[in-house]
Amino acid sequence: MIYTEMTYDRNATLEQTAPVLSKHSMNLVILGATGGTGLELVRRAVERGHSVTAFVRSPDRLKSFGERIHIEQGNLLDSAQLERVLKGHDAVVSGFGPRIPVSPADKHLLEQFARVLTGAMQRSAVRRAVVESVAFLFKDSIVPPVYILGKLLFPGIVADSAEMERILQGSGLDWTIVRPPQLTDKPYTGKYRVRHGHLPRFGFKIPRANVADYMIRAAEDRSTIGKIIGLAE
Ligand SMILES: NC(=O)c1ccc[n+]([C@@H]2O[C@H](COP(=O)([O-])OP(=O)(O)OC[C@H]3O[C@@H](n4cnc5c(N)ncnc54)[C@H](OP(=O)(O)O)[C@@H]3O)[C@@H](O)[C@H]2O)c1
């Protein structure tokens, strides 16, 4: 991994990563694995040599991975089901979130998810989680003013994401929260900026594939435990 300082953002590190094997293979449960970020999480985890269990409600979208991953079908919001799937794994990596546009029924989906996830992790003795949240929660970002924009345009997502983070942070588990700005479906570049506790300046967008790259590396890296990470291209 190469770390280089960007001239216009001295506090961010520029990651330039290649999809190579990790030194230590882990047993990962990937949640939201059929979503935009989730599919990239599965791809990146497999490329880095990890064993992947995807717990999904509709497995069809994962057909292309064939025998390379293990699929469990069920309801991840059912605490007992999630506990059973988690048992024996090293970590959870989540790209779970409400489908857009958010239906009234999903208003508190992330809060519910966090309660179920933290309970199931505690009971199954899986301590490590890397969870995707939203850059809207960076109150100190001026360019772009994500917190103000989020409160104005997506107040429901801001409130629900904040509640999810609050529950994770109070869980006593080994969490890492990753907050990207607007996600795109552009291809993986392995080149993106990372800032602990802040959004990288001028952090408007990032490809889902790069977010996934960072999240899998964060799962491997215990120094990210208890950190909130801002990412941007
Ligand atoms: N959109 C953005 O620009 C943006 C920006 C920053 C952060 N984020 C956050 O990043 C995360 C991932 O976003 P994304 O756009 O990559 O994801 P996405 O494509 O919307 O996928 C969401 C995933 O969550 C699953 N899911 C949703 N509701 C579910 C339920 N009730 N039960 C089981 N599974 C359920 C979906 O499963 P199915 O395939 O079965 O529906 C899918 O796998 C979200 O938390 C989002 O808030 C998004």
pLDDT, tens digit (0-9, with 9 covering 90-100), for 125-175: 999 999 999 999 999 999 999 999 999 999 999 999 999 999 999 999 999
Q: Which of 67, 41, 38 is nearest to 57 (CA)?
A: 38
Task: Kindly give the number of the ligand 1 atom that is closest to the alpha carbon of 58.
Answer: 40
- Tell me which residues have their CB closer than 6 angstroms to ligand 1: 32, 34-38, 57-58, 76-77, 95-99, 132, 134, 180, 182-183, 208
Architecture of domain 2-232: 3-Layer(aba) Sandwich (3.40)
CA 132 – ligand 1 centroid, Å: 9
Between CA 98 and CA 108 the distance in angstroms is 9
Q: In the chain, what is the straight-line distance between the N-terminal and C-terminal CA atoms, in Å?
A: 16
2 band by pLDDT with thresholds 50, 70 and 90: very low
- Biggest CA–CA distance in the chain, Å, is 49
Best probe residue, ligand 1, of 60, 111, 134, 186 (max atoms within 8 Å of C-beta): 134
**Model confidence, pTM:** 0.95
Specify whether the CB–CB gap between 200 and 12 falls below 8 A: yes
Spatial contact of 208 and 214, defined as CB atoms under 8 Å apart: no
Between β-strands 227-232 and 191-196, what pairing exists: parallel, antiparallel or unpaired?
A: antiparallel
Alpha-carbon distance of 21 to 7, in angstroms, equals 30
